[in-house]
Amino acid sequence: MVIIATDSAADFEMNELQKMNVTYLPMSVMFGEDQYLENISISKEEFFERLKSDSHFPKTSQPSPAMFEELFENAKKNSDEVVYLPLSSGLSGDYQTAMSVKNMVGYEGIYVIDTLTCTGGQRLLVEKAVKMRDEGYTGAQIAEKMESLKEKTVIYTVMDTLEYLFKNGRLSNAAYYIAQLGHIKPIMHCAANSQGKAEIVSKHIGLNKAIRYIVDRLDDEVPDPEYPFYVMYTYDKVNAYKLVEKLKEKGIEVSEDRIIPVGATVGAHIGPYACAVAYIKK
């Protein structure tokens, strides 16, 4: 049997994971002394409600080594294969921890893929891996496909505010003040060509101009129609719907079931009211 596994940064809902038979390793999120397992003891909406009101800035942490050990040891015992698709190594130590535990277990049937992506990009890879598993491909064949497909994942995010990058120390006080004063909406990009790191690639005055930048990028990074096209949002869909309307003008229809919420792992850094696209490019 081939086991497909991922962490909570892929932003699936629990019922989706169960339907696809995907093993789930949750990230943890902490507000002060209060610790939660993402999507298990705190929902996406509950997280953002607390993010907006709590005096403590949240801290997120990767799945524990014990979770990996249990998954990998059981696979070894049962002669199963595991394809694990974690959050990008450019954003988390999840990949490195999984690799360390794999080496400790000493089983060749474990394939840990550095996805170099997050949220909707992870989702796209997991969905393809599940499809291949269900079609009878081996873990090795799925892993090989993931290594090539991850080079084509694209994510662009419009952040409504830089407040949360400022709060977690990734932005200077002066830069934050200027951005707030000028109503700057930054564009964040995460892809293989940036080693899976999240980088601000453009800044625009106002949401409409920022959304236009993302839509115009599709001319250079053309979506592959073989794969789903996702729009993501944090906390509220209002800006996601604005993005969907602009995409429609471009000839890209995004159905309601492909507008997906982003959870704590990424949302802690980009804050509420962000919107984004995730797709596989040709």
**pLDDT at residue 281 tops 80:** yes
Region(s) of the chain under CATH 3.40.50.10170: 2-151
pLDDT band at 169 (very low <50, low <70, confident <90, very high): low
Tell how strand 153-158 and strand 110-112 pair up. Answer: unpaired
Sequence-separated (6 or more) residues with CB below 8 Å from residue 9: 27, 86, 87, 91, 92, 94, 118, 119, 122, 263, 265, 266
Banded pLDDT at 174 (limits 50, 70, 90): very low
Instruction: Pick the closest to residue 71 from 23, 130, 127 (CA basis).
Output: 23
Q: Which of 17, 35, 37 is nearest to 27 (CA)?
A: 37
Average pLDDT of the chain to the nearest whole number: 91
Which pLDDT tens digit goes with each residue over 240-262?
A: 999 999 999 999 999 999 999 99
pLDDT over 80 (residue 71): yes
152-280 folds as: Hypothetical Protein Tm841; Chain: A;domain 3 (3.30.1180)
- Fold exhibited by the domain 2-151: Rossmann fold (3.40.50)
pLDDT at 54: 86
Rounded to the nearest angstrom, the gap between the alpha carbon of residue 240 and the centroid of all alpha carbons in its chain is: 16
**pLDDT tens-place string over residues 78-108:** 999 999 999 999 999 999 999 999 999 999 9
Question: Lowest-confidence range among 136-140, 169-173, 269-273?
Answer: 169-173
Residue extent(s) of CATH 3.30.1180.10 domains in the chain: 152-280
pLDDT in tens, 203-247: 888 899 999 999 999 999 999 999 999 999 999 999 999 999 999
